[in-house]
Structure 1
Amino acid sequence: MTESELDFAEVRRAFDHAAASYDAHAVLQREVCDRLLERLDFMTLQPGRVLDVGSGTGYGLAHLRARYAEAELSALDIAPAMLSAARARLPQPGWAQRARSRLAPASARATHLVCADMARLPLAPNSMNLVWSSLALQWAHDLEATLKGFHQVLAPGGLLMFATFGPDTLKELRAAFRSIDDAPHVNRFIDLHDIGDMLIHAGFASPVMEMEILTLTYADLKTLMRDLKGIGAHNAATTRRRGLLGKSAWARLEQAYALHRIEGRLPATFEVIYGHAWSGDKTRREDGRQVIEFNIGARRRKLGLA
């Protein structure tokens, strides 16, 4: 998520364009996804319906399909080309492509492709038991509103599990670009503690947050930039600088990044945040009032208490 507003059309275009090259460059993304999948080993949840938010080319989706063979899965992404790649990764029988607000019964064990913005989920309230997202939330326009949407579609007792990037991600590249100009060239990311607060405000219970630093190393800056472009990690800030860097600016950028070189290699830091939280019993409304049910004789009533 950037300090300035994201250009949604540019985000979609970049990921659509990167669908064909994504898997060849997504070493870090697969590693983080594997680590997030390992965290499911500690959960006793056996979901009937699972939503994979930002499914990309379907690497995580395939693992979720294998883990929850009896569940109905929905794969959501903003880029149609990414969803096409995900479709090709899994066996064809049982796939359905739809974007309706209510999905088929869980007994269908289908996998649905949903092309939509994560901030505007075309899903019924209380329709999911697990919302899963590996390295997609950093592209949310409004993360807190997005988390509220996740809480809305989760059934009582449902689980949200995610991985996203923290503020130190690509700190070397950000510092090097500062030697060129003051325009935003690298996306800005939200702090772990702020995400935890957003989860509470969104209605989630018992959030658990973790962070680790992963570092990739490169022989040169062009290889790093090629990897970022290959996965669609394009600067999509509305205030971004348009056009390519000139030769002089690129030379200064390489010189600035070279100051970070360690043992002949250029490091690229990624601060990875892992989190999970439960939807709870969902008896509290968005305005903070709690819904209490009780019987008076044979009549059931609901009250909203401040």
Structure 2
Amino acid sequence: MNYRKTLNINKNAVANSFSKAADHYDQFAQLQRDIGLQLLHPRSDGNVKAILDLGCGTGYFSEKITQIYPHCEMTCLDLSAAMLAQVGKKNLVQVTCLEGDIDHLPFSANRFDMIFSNLVLQWSEDLPLCLQQLKACLAVGGTLYFSTLLSGSLNELTQAWKSVDLQPHTNAFLSLESIKNALQQAGFTKLTITTETRILSYQSVIAVMRALKGIGANHVHGHRAVKISGRNLIKLLEQGYLPFVNGRGELNLTYQVCYVEAQK
């Protein structure tokens, strides 16, 4: 079964959303750190000399990876110049920052021994093509480690918005089957794939929306972002969220997470 689903993503708008969040991203990114730490397993493989942090954000994991591999050459690629500016503040001597798009990689073949990418590939317009490029720039025997979100993520917020209108206010995510098919199309055969469900809870609808905006993940493909304003809008969202209030009176927000280890 061939998987091929391309998205029309306004990459400038995505970059703008993340750039606006860059200064305060780390204040809101606990989930991203927890998932990234699950993805990052300290290794002592001395053959790892060139590493790509794909969609590096503020460089939180770039710094950790260079601590594990103190003699490696690290390339940090991100769509947002403001995020890369945050990486620069860490003064990581063996790191080169590069502004770029995950769907149009500028690297030569067999360039990296390891690629690390935490919660980034859900922003790809064409995942099989993106994975093909990643495989090409991996050295023989190199490994791609990535996490991404699966369908069902943000379901509570998606359903709550339906009490307001029928327009999409959250992005759709790929199924696990689609991820597997994309990996197969890219030519990866040595795969380890695991999944988990993470549920966060918030005090209010406004807190939910602020959390997404705080990490720059509030851009919805093909639609303008909706600002939370007006009592009627908030009341409608709160009403739509009622089925997803937990026993503590908090609002649940679910993330379906996929972890992949793929060797070339």
Is TM (by shorter chain) over 0.5?
yes
Instruction: Report the equivalent of 2:78.
Output: 77
Instruction: Report the equivalent of 2:24.
Output: 21
Instruction: Report the equivalent of 1:272.
Output: 257
Distance 2:82 2:67 in 1: 23
1:67 CA displacement: 0.6
Contact 1:208-1:275 at 8 Å conserved across structures: yes
1:124–1:145: structure 2 CA closer, same or farther, 3 Å change rule? same
Distance 1:44 1:274 in 2: 20
Deviations 1:32-75, CA, capped at 9 Å, x for gaps? 1111113x54x857311000001000111011110111110000
1:242 CA displacement: 5.3
Contact 1:5-1:237 at 8 Å conserved across structures: yes
Contact 2:144-2:262 at 8 Å conserved across structures: yes
1:36 paired to 2:39:
yes
> 5+ residue gaps in structure 2?
none
1:183–1:45: structure 2 CA closer, same or farther, 3 Å change rule? farther
1:196 paired to 2:180:
yes
Stretch deviating more after TM superposition (191-200 or 141-150): 191-200
Instruction: Report the equivalent of 2:61.
Output: 60
Distance 2:101 2:237 in 1: 34
Normalised to the residue count of structure 2, the TM-score between the two structures is 0.92
1:26–1:69: structure 2 CA closer, same or farther, 3 Å change rule? same
Instruction: Report the equivalent of 2:136.
Output: 152
Instruction: Report the equivalent of 2:105.
Output: 121
Distance 2:183 2:46 in 1: 20
Equivalenced residues, count: 258
Spell out the pairing of 1:80-99 with structure 2 (5 A cutoff): 80-89=81-90, 91=91, 94=93
Instruction: Report the equivalent of 1:227.
Output: 211
Instruction: Report the equivalent of 1:254.
Output: 238
Normalised to the residue count of structure 1, the TM-score between the two structures is 0.80
Distance 1:127 1:152 in 2: 8
> 5+ residue gaps in structure 1?
95-109, 280-306
1:252–1:45: structure 2 CA closer, same or farther, 3 Å change rule? farther
Distance 2:245 2:197 in 1: 17
Distance 1:27 1:130 in 2: 24
RMSD value, Cα: 1.8
Contact 2:206-2:228 at 8 Å conserved across structures: no
* Partner residue of 1:207 out of 183, 191, 202: 191
Distance 2:158 2:6 in 1: 13
1:70 maps to amino acid:
H
The structure 1 segments of at least 4 consecutive aligned residues displaced by more than 3 Å after TM superposition are 43-46, 241-246
Distance 1:220 1:3 in 2: 34
1:4 CA displacement: 5.1
Contact 1:200-1:207 at 8 Å conserved across structures: no
Instruction: Report the equivalent of 2:154.
Output: 170
SS at match of 1:148: helix
State the identity %. Answer: 32
Distance 1:121 1:241 in 2: 27
SS at match of 2:253: strand
1:258 CA displacement: 2.4
SS at match of 1:147: helix
Max Rg structure: 1
2:253 maps to amino acid:
A
Instruction: Report the equivalent of 1:244.
Output: 227
* Partner residue of 2:125 out of 123, 129, 141: 141
- Higher RCO structure (Cα 8 Å, ≥6 apart): 2
Deviations 1:113-151, CA, capped at 9 Å, x for gaps? 010001111111111111110011111111111101101
1:241 CA displacement: 4.4
1:45–1:159: structure 2 CA closer, same or farther, 3 Å change rule? farther
2:35 maps to amino acid:
V
Contact 1:168-1:270 at 8 Å conserved across structures: yes
